[in-house]
């Protein structure tokens, strides 16, 4: 049972549009268990993947401001869509005014650095929401940060995967149909793919379906572990942030939708009971 949080804590904020960020939170708890965490799922407004830049930016900024108000010195945007569409603006335009001493990090840069280490022939595929794919963030960032190791990036938008996860349809025939369709499209775009990035934090929840259609020689990058590993390194390099995070090993869950349905599904995804509260911001 995940405990309720004490008063006066300064947890790491972990934000996603819904349940997907739980795949990141799970690994963060394993990597840095002493830290307190506050998970916020904007389930009332999910999915973000089909929304415009302006809307995703506004929603994400609201969530970040809210997490700062709860005392978080550091916020992890555990959502590729929000990382792709909002992170840069928040870091460069908003943080200097609203909280110059706090940090907001995303999930795309750590994934890009890792894929550069993993690929053998430089042919990479990205599965993501329509928003992430249209933003071009992965091809752009792979171009900048892969040290020339990635020579080709193809992408496939999977608009139905997030709703399938949010509605707990992960083992259904419908999920199988759409996973197969999108994977086949991606594979047809580059016959030499050797690594696929699951560029949406919801997608690891569909991993059993995904593995059915991805040939075994192609590696699949799931982000949770990578983000956790990179964050642990970041905290070592930034003691000024690390020392401000409270260390009670406690995790609080908040959702903008019904707490009961969040509890039910989060337990399924996390493998343990949670006791969330509904918040509005």
Residue 155 binds ligand DGL (CB under 6 A): no
Residue matched to tokens 């799931």:
222
Whole-angstrom Cα distance, residue 14 to residue 9?
A: 15
Which of residues 75, 187, 197, 200 is near ligand DGL by CB under 6 A? Answer: 200
Q: In this complex, which beta carbon is closest to ligand DGL, that of residue 76 or of residue 251?
A: 76
> Is residue 79 annotated as part of the catalytic site, yes or no?
yes
Q: In this complex, which beta carbon is closest to ligand DGL, that of residue 169 or of residue 242?
A: 169
Span between the terminal Cα atoms of the chain, in Å = 27
Residue 108-137 contact track with ligand DGL, rule CB under 6 A, x = bound: ---------------------x--x-----
Residue 182 binds ligand DGL (CB under 6 A): no
Residue 170 binds ligand DGL (CB under 6 A): no
Q: In this complex, which beta carbon is closest to ligand DGL, that of residue 9 or of residue 14?
A: 14
> Is residue 158 annotated as part of the catalytic site, yes or no?
no
Whole-angstrom Cα distance, residue 94 to residue 22?
A: 26
* DSSP E strands, the chain: 12-16, 37-41, 74-77, 103-105, 123-128, 152-157, 195-198, 219-221, 251-255, 277-278
136: left (phi over 0), alpha (psi -120 to 50) or beta: left
| Active site residue ranges | 79, 200
- Which residues contribute to the site for ligand DGL (CB under 6 A)? 16-18, 20, 46-49, 79-81, 129, 132, 162, 200-202
């Amino acid at each position: 049972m995940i405990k309720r949080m004490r008063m006066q804590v300064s947890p790491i904020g972990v934000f996603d549009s819904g349940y997907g960020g739980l795949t990141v939170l799970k690994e963060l708890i394993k990597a840095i268990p002493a830290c307190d965490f506050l998970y916020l799922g904007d389930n009332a407004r999910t999915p973000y993947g089909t929304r415009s830049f302006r809307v995703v930016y506004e929603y994400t900024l609201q969530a970040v401001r809210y997490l700062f108000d709860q005392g978080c010195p550091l916020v992890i945007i555990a959502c590729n869509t929000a990382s792709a569409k909002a992170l840069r603006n928040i870091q460069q335009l908003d943080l200097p005014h609203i909280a110059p001493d706090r940090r907001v990090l995303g999930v795309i840069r750590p994934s890009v650095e890792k894929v550069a280490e993993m690929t053998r022939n430089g042919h990479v595929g990205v599965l993501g929401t329509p928003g992430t794919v249209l933003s071009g963030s992965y091809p752009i960032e792979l171009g900048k940060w892969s040290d020339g190791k990635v020579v080709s990036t193809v992408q496939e938008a999977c608009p139905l995967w997030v709703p399938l996860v949010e509605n707990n349809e992960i083992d259904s025939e419908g999920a199988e149909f759409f996973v197969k369709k999108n994977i086949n499209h991606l594979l047809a775009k580059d016959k030499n793919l050797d690594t696929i990035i699951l560029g949406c934090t919801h997608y690891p929840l569909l991993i059993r379906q995904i593995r059915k259609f991805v040939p075994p020689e192609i590696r699949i990058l799931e982000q949770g572990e990578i983000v956790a590993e990179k964050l642990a390194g970041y905290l070592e390099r930034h003691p000024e942030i690390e020392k401000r995070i409270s260390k009670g090993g406690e995790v609080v869950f908040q959702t903008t939708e019904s707490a009961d349905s969040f509890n039910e599904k989060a337990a399924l995804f996390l493998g343990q009971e949670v006791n969330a509260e509904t918040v509005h911001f």
